[in-house]
Structure 1
């Protein structure tokens, strides 16, 4: 079993020294280097590079500003996806994002984790657990999503949240570590005052 097959199974794998892993990561970095240097007017080339990089995309998507990932081929995005500036996805394992998802600036989706003991960590070993984000999810600025998390449909993750456990559908989730604040209700669809009073 090669190192990327181990990663896909959630096993410890050599993320830092294995030649095949490093070459796959470098292939992604080459595309990202081109992508992140494009003018905002070069939409067709930008979208072509995203389609080349990612495992699956919808027809309509936007990556605003800088984007970084490990491999790209483990990332799947649905229809009407929007990522604001500085999205980082460490995709040693699958990251599957549903339809109509909005990701605010400076968000990190991290499938990668490391052994607690320094001996194995110093050998470059890590593990990766998949992240799944449902449909109609809004992830606020500065959110960090940890390995193995599933975010349910219609959830809203508040800015600055550290998501260490699964998020139920249709809730506001906030804090460090994150927790359910309340359900999203029909009244939220009628709200017209968005001040912080």
Structure 2
């Protein structure tokens, strides 16, 4: 697995970044990742009734500049988090997050827009 970290990145204790060895996780500058965050890059296609976990897939994750990810959040494969956004603690991010928003929940959804300056 290839993980690239920008400048001034803080990663909390017990954070897990894992998945397929060919995956790429890109973390921008000035990113704060709280403790117990999980970032996953591997998933499966839906298989048959005899074996539901079908063919494996790899999907990278992009966390842009200035993002804050709250404790215990889960970032799923293929997600891009827009710059300046905040992921509330305990959220499950299963789709792209726009820039400068607060998202929360399971699954995460936009709660409000954040100031851009």
**TM-score > 0.5, shorter chain as reference:** yes
Paired with 2:106 and 2:53, the residues of 1 have a C-alpha distance of 25
Q: What 5-or-longer segments of structure 2 have no aligned partner?
A: none
- Give distance in 1, aligned partners of 2:74 and 2:87: 10
Equivalences for residues 1-197 of structure 1 within 5 A: 71=1, 74-92=2-20, 93-117=23-47, 119=51, 121=53, 125-185=55-115
**d(CA) in 2 for partners of 1:91 and 1:132?**
14
Corresponding residue pairs, total: 113
Q: Secondary structure at the match of 1:114?
A: strand
Q: Kindly provide the CA deviation profile for residues 89-120 of structure 1, in whole angstroms up to 9, marking residues without a partner as x.
A: 11421100000000001100111102332537
Q: Give me the CA root mean square deviation.
A: 1.8
Higher normalized contact order (CA 8 Å, seq sep 6+, divided by chain length)? 2
Deviation at 1:153, TM superposition (A): 0.3
Deviations 1:136-155 (A, max 9, x none): 00000010011100000000
* Greater helix proportion: 1
Q: Which has the higher strand share?
A: 2
Separation (CA, whole Å) in 2 of partners of 1:120 and 1:145: 22
Q: Supply the distance in 1 between the matched residues of 2:73 and 2:13 (Cα, whole angstroms).
A: 13
Q: Distance in 2 between matches of 1:100 and 1:141?
A: 17
Whichever of the two has the greater Rg, that structure is 1
Question: Secondary structure of 2:62's partner?
Answer: strand
- 5+ residue gaps, structure 1: 1-70, 190-197
